Amino acid sequence: MGRLLFLFIAFIIFGSQHLAALAVSDSEKYVRAREHMVQSQLSKRGIVDKRVLMAMKKLPRHLFVPKILAFKAYTDSPLPIGEGQTISQPYIVALMTELLELTGSEKVLEIGTGSGYQAAVLSELAKEVVSIEIKEKLCIKARKLLDSLGYTNVEVRCGDGYFGWNKGAPYDAIMLTAAVDHIPPPLLTQLKDGGLLVLPLGNPFSYQNLVLVTKKGDDYKVWQIAGVLFVPMTGHAMQTSGE
């Protein structure tokens, strides 16, 4: 009984400290910036999924960018996060998320964790998220940040996302956040029948098309959504580029 009481008190103390730290980092200035971002960058451009809008209004995006760039976290542009990678502009995050039509019961695979922001958005909308990052430093940093923010339904794996994560397959939805000139076959294999896959498809070193892939049995259809510009997918994707 004494041990349980001690653990309870410790939880209250340290949990309160954690919440207090978040409250300090998420000032009224950032709250207003998020509200403006959702209205001006998302709603006015046609993002209508209320769950997506609420998730992005809630999430402290400034914690997912370098501190020196926190003042730009809610601007309408991608930002560098180190290791040659970027965090996508808010509109693209919202658009790709909305295209997956998540209802809250899905298992989602994300390729390209980056800073962890997109994974956090997905975790607000899906039951379970597996996110893979090839850059080990980014992988470890994102995992620590997501854990510290309490995202217990996100599993961050370090590795080459070209091959997906077969252990967790099949997935209801898959999101690839780096440019590739072909759809990685392992991702199609790991996608559930009737599932959705969204990715930037095209020349990794130029502009790409954001596409939505729907799987029906052994067949799939590709729908073009919009022109985009993403950093190239590295690892095995580079070896097979142009084939």
Check if the beta carbon of residue 37 is closer than 8 Å to that of residue 56: yes
Supply the DSSP string of 204-224, one letter for each residue.
TTS-EEEEEEEEETTEEEEEE
- Among candidate residues 25, 43, 88, 115, the one labeled active-site is 88
Residues in the chain, overall count: 243
Phi-psi sector, 173: left (phi>0), alpha (psi -120 to 50), beta: beta
**Structural element, H or E, at residue 200:** strand 191-202
DSSP state of 179: B
Q: How far apart are CA 109 and CA 161, in angstroms?
A: 10
Looking from the CA of 219 toward its CB, the CA atoms found within 13 Å total: 2
AA identity, residue 16: S
Strand partners, 87: 79
Q: How far apart are CA 242 and CA 221, in angstroms?
A: 21
Q: How far apart are CA 69 and CA 83, in angstroms?
A: 15
Helix/strand/coil (H/E/C) assignment for every residue in 147-162: HHCCCCCEEEEECCHH
Catalytic status, residue 27? no
Residues annotated as catalytic are 88
